[in-house]
Chain A
Amino acid sequence: KAGVTQTPRYLIKTRGQQVTLSCSPISGHRSVSWYQQTPGQGLQFLFEYFSETQRNKGNFPGRFSGRQFSNSRSEMNVSTLELGDSALYLCASSLGAGSGGYTFGSGTRLTVV
Chain B
Amino acid sequence: DQQVKQNSPSLSVQEGRISILNCDYTNSMFDYFLWYKKYPAEGPTFLISISSIKDKNEDGRFTVFLNKSAKHLSLHIVPSQPGDSAVYFCAANEDNAGNMLTFGGGTRLMVKP
CB within 8 Å of B: which residues of A?
Answer: 4, 6, 31, 33, 35, 42-45, 48, 50, 55-56, 58, 88, 90-92, 94, 97-100, 102-107, 109
Q: List 9 A-B contacts (CB under 8 A).
A: A31-B98, A43-B103, A43-B106, A48-B99, A90-B43, A94-B99, A97-B98, A99-B49, A105-B43
User: A102–B45 contact, CB under 8 A?
Assistant: no
Inter-chain CA distance A12–B103, complex, in Å, is 27
Are B32 and A102 in contact (CB-based, < 8 A)? no
Bin chain B's interface residue count: 20 to 34
In contact, B42 and A56 (Cβ under 8 angstroms)? no
B contact residues around A58 at 8 Å (CB): 100
CB proximity of B103 to chain A, nearest CB, Å: 4
Contact with A along B80-113 (1 / 0, CB 8 A): 0000000001010101011111111110000000
Q: Is the CB of B43 within 8 A of A106?
A: yes
Known contacts: A99-B32, A99-B49, A102-B34. The answer to whether A4 contacts B43 by CB under 8 A is yes
With contact pairs A42-B106, A43-B89 given, residues A102 and B101 touching in the complex (Cβ less than 8 Å): yes
What 9 pairs across the A-B complex have the smallest Cβ distances? A104-B43, A99-B32, A43-B103, A56-B100, A55-B98, A42-B105, A99-B93, A56-B98, A104-B44
